[in-house]
Amino acid sequence: MPDTPNRQSAEADLAFLRSIVDGDRRPPMTLAICYLAGGLLYGLQCLFHIGQILGVIRWPGLADLIFVVGITVAFLAILTWAILTDMKNGGANRGPTGARMLNAAFSATGMANAAVIIVFAVGAIREGEFFIWLYYAAIVFALQAAAWYVAWTLRRKGWMLATALGGWATAVALGVLVREPFWYLVVCTAALFLLFALPGWIMFRDARAGLKAH
């Protein structure tokens, strides 16, 4: 039976989908570095605040401020370096289709996260209520869970699904614990190391292995 235009089109669509799922499975290096650095740095900051609550860390107010600002400055410096390096190497939009789709999903999540931070920061300042600000972390983890679920549907890796489910559970836990600073920080610390730094290290390892193979 001769091929019809519709059959040829369907086969082309199927080949395209297979190229997304079964093509080059290297994760974007920039994404890996940002997750690894963000999880380690902000996990360290949460440990610092836990130490303050427990009375282990008793630094002057200025020293506390310098440490907290230094964490964000360090992360932004690493983020800038990663982006510039990515642009120098051709940019995320020139990679394999699967990698570009994965990068797009997390980039869109990052845009949403930025809006969430602004909204909750303004709300907390306007209402004079710090606990409003703490809800933003729950939303961030919920959005991350959605992004990881998309990643799992594309790559079908068990650790991606585990990260998505962990992000969902973390979002619920943080939303419930905003009035319990110590346990809020405990959950946030564990989540940053397990759901940001660990996936970042896995992606970084896979990305490096892929680059060496090529």
Location of structure tokens 């740095």? 41
Total domains in the chain come to: 1
With beta carbons less than 8 A apart as the criterion, state whether 141 and 191 touch: yes
DSSP secondary structure, 76-97, as one string:
HHHHHHHHHHHHHTT-GGGS-H
188 within a domain of the structure (yes/no): yes
Residue 169 lies in a domain: yes
Sign of the alpha-carbon torsion through 22, 25, 30, 31 = positive
Q: With respect to residue 122, please indicate whether it lies within any of the assigned structural domains.
A: yes
Q: What is the mean pLDDT of residues 69-95?
A: 76
Cα-based torsion angle of the residue sequence 92, 95, 101, 104 in order, rounded to the nearest 10 degrees: 10
What is the pTM assigned to this prediction? 0.78
Q: Please, are residues 155 and 25 in contact by the beta-carbon 8 Å criterion? A: yes
Range of the domain at 175: 28-213
Q: Is residue 15 part of a domain?
A: no
Give domain status of residue 19, yes or no: no
- Domain assignment present for residue 54? The answer is yes
% of the chain surpassing 70 pLDDT? 74
| Residue 24, SS3 per DSSP | coil
- Residue 25 banded pLDDT, cuts 50, 70, 90: low
Residue 77 to residue 59: CA distance in whole angstroms:
25
Tokens of 129: 């209520």
Q: 105 in a domain, yes or no?
A: yes
Q: What is the spatial distance between Cα 191 and Cα 142, in angstroms, rounded to a whole number?
A: 12
Identify whether 22 is part of a domain: no
Query: At 131, is the pLDDT very low, low, confident or very high (cuts 50, 70, 90)?
Result: confident
pLDDT at 42: 94
Q: pLDDT at residue 140 above 60?
A: yes
